[in-house]
Chain A
Amino acid sequence: GESVGLHLPTLSVQEGDNSIINCAYSNSASDYFIWYKQESGKGPQFIIDIRSNMDKRQGQRVTVLLNKTVKHLSLQIAATQPGDSAVYFCAERPFRYSTLTFGKGTMLLVSP
């Protein structure tokens, strides 16, 4: 289930389940969104991105959905594996060449 921990919302799933991580963004004018995965002691690693003129984009085992009406972004991970355990951040870009603004992050814990 999903819970709010001391620092990060945490999503705990079983190996093989599908995971959905949600993100609310702040700027309705943002034209670009991106998801990063961060493992302990490492820098953020790119997962998938989407432009504001799209509402869905698929990668390998991952799908990003964008709902501009409610300023909501989600990351779906199919057949979650223990190696997917990490903190996931969404980020938005208010306009081209502007800097990325990151959200707080969600910790995904995958049990074997």
Chain B
Amino acid sequence: DTGVSQNPRHKITKRGQNVTFRCDPISEHNRLYWYRQTLGQGPEFLTYFQNEAQLEKSRLLSDRFSAERPKGSFSTLEIQRTEQGDSAMYLCASIGSGANVLTFGAGSRLTVL
């Protein structure tokens, strides 16, 4: 068990470009969460999956954001037409059935120039 893995760790892009982040959760965890964290703030919920089903999306998740978990294992978060306000740390977390504690990955930091 290598924990929750996120790639890339850091992405620098120009405004208007698309970016995609990948999350590999702990293998036996059926629920996967995406959070966004800006400097000095706590993580803010974006969306979560139970297996391959996306069960909840935050109002923070604009139309430019899309997340998938096609086979109920890894997940991707894509941001289209990035804006400077999208600059943040994108955190992935996973949790097993019946458990309470979310295990977070190290995050993917996005910088939009």
Residues in chain A within 8 A of chain B (CB atoms):
6-8, 32, 34, 36, 41-46, 49, 89, 91, 93, 99-105
Contact = CB atoms under 8 A, between A and B. Distances in A.
Nearest to B91: A43
Given A99-B45, A99-B48, A100-B102, A44 B91 contact: yes
B101 A89 contact: no
B21 interface: no
Given A99-B33, A99-B48, A44 B100 contact: no
Contact of B43 (A6, A8, A44): A44
A102 B45 CA distance: 9
Interface stretch (B34-42, B65-73, B76-84): B34-42
Interface string B15-44: 000000000000000000100000111111
B91 A46 contact: no
Nearest to B109: A41
Main SS at interface, chain B: loop
Given A99-B45, A102-B44, A7 B39 contact: yes
Contacts of A32: 100
B103 interface: yes
23 contacts: A6-B40, A7-B39, A7-B41, A41-B106, A42-B106, A43-B4, A43-B93, A43-B105, A43-B107, A44-B43, A45-B104, A46-B101, A46-B103, A89-B42, A89-B43, A91-B42, A93-B100, A99-B56, A101-B45, A102-B43, A104-B40, A105-B41, A105-B42
A44 B44 CA distance: 12
A49 B44 contact: no
Interface of B: 4, 33, 39-45, 48, 56, 91, 93, 100-107
B43 A49 contact: no
Given A99-B56, A101-B45, A49 B107 contact: no
A100 B104 CA distance: 12
Contacts of A101: 45
Nearest to B45: A99
Contacts of A99: 33, 45, 48, 56
